[in-house]
A and B are shown apart, each in its own frame.
Chain A
Amino acid sequence: LAKTTQPISMDSYEGQEVNITCSHNNIATNDYITWYQQFPSQGPRFIIQGYKTKVTNEVASLFIPADRKSSTLSLPRVSLSDTAVYYCLVGGSNQAGTALIFGKGTTLSVSS
């Protein structure tokens, strides 16, 4: 399974755009990139998933360069409620017995 590297923590202010970059140099051809958000004492929540180029939904955008060795989660105009841990995961390929492995994630702190 591809290992991911992302910053341990980030700080931001309300209204700013936040970009969290994740490195995954050993991503496999069939692997997708998925981001989750987790609030304290809650289960992780799926935010966005992509394979290549750019994906956008109502919550975030995901930018993936052509070599797919990294990805950037972009959160537009964050609010205090976006304070959470964000996990970048790579996997979901069609191999029996695989499961998404979570790293330490990035703790995003949003201040007023």
Chain B
Amino acid sequence: DSGVTQTPKHLITATGQRVTLRCSPRSGDLSVYWYQQSLDQGLQFLIHYYNGEERAKGNILERFSAQQFPDLHSELNLSSLELGDSALYFCASSVHFGDARTNYGYTFGSGTRLTVV
């Protein structure tokens, strides 16, 4: 157990629907990062939150949004789902992003496998 909890583990839904993926970071970690991994694209960075504030956006579609709550858990909302959104979605956490010399890397959760049919 990495300490990062992602729910649900599996999700099957139809095109056009909306889903919410949840991530609880490791205790004490203030940063949450979301990544998408599909077979042909590898690990794609989506978005980063630090202590409730959005800090960076990567290749995140406008149909996708995220937020980090006061208790530091984060949710990734995916709407108007398309077949191509089928992928593994990973959440990672770290203590903070600020100081490279104390950033010992990210801790990843086990992911949510989303299948859009």
Q: Which residues of A contact B (CB under 8 A)?
A: 30-32, 34, 36, 41-46, 49, 51, 87, 91-94, 96-105
A-B contact pairs, 7 of them (CB 8 A): A43-B108, A43-B109, A44-B106, A45-B2, A96-B97, A97-B48, A100-B45
B63, chain A: closest CB distance, angstroms:
20
Cβ contacts B81-105/A at 8 Å (1 or 0 each): 0000000101010000111110111
The residues of A that contact B43 with a CB separation of less than 8 Å are 44, 87, 102
Bound state CA distance, A88 and B56, in angstroms? 21
Q: Which residues of B contact A (CB under 8 A)?
A: 2, 4, 33, 35, 42-45, 48, 55-56, 58, 88, 90, 92, 97-101, 103-111, 113
> Quick check: A41 and B106 within 8 Å, CB to CB?
no
Q: Which of B58, B98, B99, B106 contacts A46 (CB 8 A)?
A: B106
A49, chain B: closest CB distance, angstroms:
6
> Quick check: B55 and A43 within 8 Å, CB to CB?
no
The residues of A that contact B110 with a CB separation of less than 8 Å are 42-43
Bound state CA distance, A46 and B26, in angstroms? 14
Bound state CA distance, A97 and B53, in angstroms? 11
> Quick check: B58 and A99 within 8 Å, CB to CB?
yes
> Quick check: A34 and B105 within 8 Å, CB to CB?
yes
B39, chain A: closest CB distance, angstroms:
11
> Quick check: A92 and B97 within 8 Å, CB to CB?
yes
Bound state CA distance, A20 and B55, in angstroms? 32
> Quick check: A31 and B42 within 8 Å, CB to CB?
no
- Tell me whether A94 and B98 are in contact in the complex, defined as CB-CB below 8 angstroms, given that A43-B2, A43-B90, A100-B106 are known contacts: yes
The residues of A that contact B42 with a CB separation of less than 8 Å are 102-105
Interface centre among B2, B45, B56, B106 (most CB of A within 10 A): B106
> Quick check: B90 and A46 within 8 Å, CB to CB?
no
B64, chain A: closest CB distance, angstroms:
16
Q: Which of B98, B104, B108, B111 contacts A45 (CB 8 A)?
A: B108
A14, chain B: closest CB distance, angstroms:
27
Rank and list the top 3 A-B pairs by shortest CB-CB distance, nearest first.
A43-B108, A102-B43, A97-B56
The residues of B that contact A46 with a CB separation of less than 8 Å are 104-107
